[in-house]
Amino acid sequence: MKKIISTSEAPGAIGPYSQAIRSGSFLFCSGQIPLDPKSGQIVPGDIAAQTRRVVDNIAAILKAEGLTFDHVVKTTIFLTNLGDFQTVNEIYGSYFKQDPPARSTVQVSALPKGVNVEIEVIAVADEDGGQTAYDTSG
């Protein structure tokens, strides 16, 4: 059984997919790109600004299911330039302060809408339902 997860606090799907799917205690979040959920436009700025927007979009999806970054067990980061890895890694790390999830990072030739970063996550809910997502980036 699967439950479609959708929140207006994260960008709507730009294709035939859901923001996330809940199946049992697992939450599978579609890859998030640096789209502003209000305007639907790519956020301006450098890779740091775009990475923050991506992770904030993920936070909104987690929050829709009462989860936090502490519930994330696996992430995949897609970059069009591995030269951005250090900057992305620093920002990413500010959201996963302790017990970070397993992660893969790959360079790809292109991403939707010409963006430079996309991140997808898999989270597992606690038996008690979890907590609310929060921004730990300071």
The full set of domains in the chain, from first to last, is: 3-124 (3.30.1330.40)
φ and ψ at residue 69, rounded to 5 degrees: -65, -20
What whole-number distance in Å separates Cα of residue 86 and Cα of residue 2? 36
Residue type, 58: I
What is the pLDDT tens value at each position of the chain, 138 positions in all? 899 999 999 998 888 999 999 999 999 999 999 999 999 999 999 999 999 999 999 999 999 999 999 999 999 999 999 999 999 999 999 999 889 999 999 999 999 999 999 999 999 997 654 444 445 455
Q: Are strands 117-124 and 26-32 parallel, antiparallel or unpaired?
A: antiparallel
